[in-house]
Amino acid sequence: MSEGRIDLSVQGHVAQVTIDDVTRHNAMSLSMWTALLAAFEEIDRRTDVRVCVLRGAGEKSFVSGANISEFETQRNAEASVAHYNDMVMRTQQALFRCRVPVIAAISGICYGGGLGLALSCDLRYAAPHSRFRMPAARLGLGYDIENMKSILSNLGPQATAEAFYTARVYDAQSAQAMGMVLAVVDDVFAHCTALAHEIAANAPLTIQAAKKTLVALAEDKEDMTSVETAIDACFKSTDYAEGRLAFAQKRSPQFTGQ
């Protein structure tokens, strides 16, 4: 049976990251968490990338959770559990703090670590047949504080409590009502790709400053110097001059990110 992999492709200014282990419903192994972190570190380095779409391979699963077959070798002792959890946390933080917006295109199963990954993204959209679950209470797993904080900030205390206490499966419409996703759309991949290109056509420095601000506010940072610098850079950019000129000339602006 083949090992799962993470694929990164870039078309224009839009990156797509695909989590690919279709035979296991895109369950995440430790090596896949490591590769996913590396993919987002590369996206952060690539100045040509302005937005990213995250999806699972195929239409049956976004991510079904952790690869449980690894539990006996990768999560069987205090040290190995700590290492695994640290890699998951680092990867999810890489998505959350990514320089550019990250859009989750969810089709099918989105369970456990898959839900945690989705909630680390800026925007989330689901296909009608998608299903969502936090099954920790059925597996006897303890959920770490940072992951719980992420879910709480997205769903609120009551929805988070219900999802954890019951380990219930939610359909796409219920997930939308709870705040797990922004909308349910028929062709989720086409929708997210079109949205990504729409975002990529806007001023990159403005988008990145907005994301930096949202992250800083979510983390309750006291020192906002880097945020203020990013905002100030927008007003000093050639894109700001281009935006004003394009508005006056009643044409679409051509932004360069400078």
Residue corresponding to tokens 């995250």: 54
pTM value is: 0.93
pLDDT digit string (tens) for 64-94? 988 776 666 655 667 777 888 889 999 999 9
Say whether both 131 and 240 belong to one domain. Answer: no
**Looking at the domain assignment, is residue 254 inside a domain?**
no
Structure tokens at 139: 């597996």
Using the 3D structure, point to which of 184, 199, 214 is the last residue of a domain: 199
Per-chain mean pLDDT for the chain = 91
Is residue 141 pLDDT above 60, yes or no? yes
Mean pLDDT of 10-36: 95
Say whether both 214 and 177 belong to one domain. Answer: no
Residues paired with 6 in a beta bridge: 19
**Total number of domains in the chain:** 2
Structure tokens at 78: 């205090």
Is residue 117 pLDDT above 70, yes or no? yes
Our CA dihedral for 32, 34, 36, 42, rounded to 10 degrees, sits at -150
Full domain range(s) for residue 190: 5-199
Is residue 179 pLDDT above 50, yes or no? yes
Is residue 212 pLDDT above 50, yes or no? yes
Is residue 17 pLDDT above 80, yes or no? yes
pLDDT for 59 equals 96
Mean pLDDT of 108-130: 96
DSSP letters of 103-151? EEEE-SEEETHHHHHHHTSSEEEE-TT-EEE--HHHHTPPPPHHHHHHH
Say whether both 245 and 171 belong to one domain. Answer: no
Question: Cα separation of 35 and 7, whole Å?
Answer: 9
**Looking at the domain assignment, is residue 134 inside a domain?**
yes
Is residue 138 pLDDT above 50, yes or no? yes
The confidence band for 103, taking pLDDT boundaries of 50, 70 and 90, is: very high
Is residue 207 pLDDT above 50, yes or no? yes
Instruction: Count CA atoms within 13 Å of residue 71 on its CB side.
Output: 9
pLDDT for 76 equals 60
Say whether both 142 and 160 belong to one domain. Answer: yes
**Looking at the domain assignment, is residue 255 inside a domain?**
no
**Looking at the domain assignment, is residue 257 inside a domain?**
no
Q: What percentage of the chain reaches a pLDDT higher than 90?
A: 74
Burial of 192 (0-12, 13-18, 19+ CB in 10 A): buried
Structure tokens at 221: 């940072």
First-to-last alpha carbon distance for the chain, in angstroms, is: 47
**Looking at the domain assignment, is residue 208 inside a domain?**
yes
Residue 51 CA to its chain's centroid (Å): 11
Mean pLDDT of 174-185: 96
The confidence band for 2, taking pLDDT boundaries of 50, 70 and 90, is: low
pLDDT for 145 equals 80
Closest CA to 125 of 65, 64, 54, 57: 54
Say whether both 120 and 233 belong to one domain. Answer: no
The confidence band for 143, taking pLDDT boundaries of 50, 70 and 90, is: confident
Say whether both 103 and 210 belong to one domain. Answer: no
pLDDT for 1 equals 47
pLDDT for 67 equals 75
